[in-house]
Amino acid sequence: MVTCPLCDGAIDVEEDDLDEGDELVCDECGAELRVAGVDPLELEATGDEEEEEEQDFDEEGEDERWR
């Protein structure tokens, strides 16, 4: 069982079956993920999920400056 780095949801896949570069989709949040490393297992968001996280962070920073 693997855990989504974005929502902490469980992804039903055997860790031993994963290789670096494999792509997964989180059943909970729908995030597209890529295996960044296998020892230890590390998943990273791909595409839109990364951009959304960066955009949310930027928007929060802008809000702070205007207060």
Among residues 63, 62, 33, 60, which one has the least CA distance to residue 48? Answer: 33
Of residues 62 and 6, which shows the higher confidence score? 6
Collect all residues with Cβ–Cβ distance below 8 Å to 42 and sequence separation of at least 6.
35, 36
CATH of the domain at 35: 2.20.28.160
pLDDT digits (tens, 9 = 90+) for 13-60: 999 999 999 999 999 999 999 999 999 999 999 976 444 555 555 555
Residues 6+ apart with CB under 8 A from 19: 35, 38
Range of the domain at 9: 2-65
> What is the predicted pLDDT for the residue at 61?
56
Q: How confident is the model at residue 67 (pLDDT cuts 50, 70, 90)?
A: low
Residue tagged 């670096």 (tokens): 20
Total number of domains in the chain: 1
Q: What is the pTM of this model?
A: 0.66
How many angstroms separate the Cα of 19 from the Cα of each of 15, 58, 62? 9, 33, 39
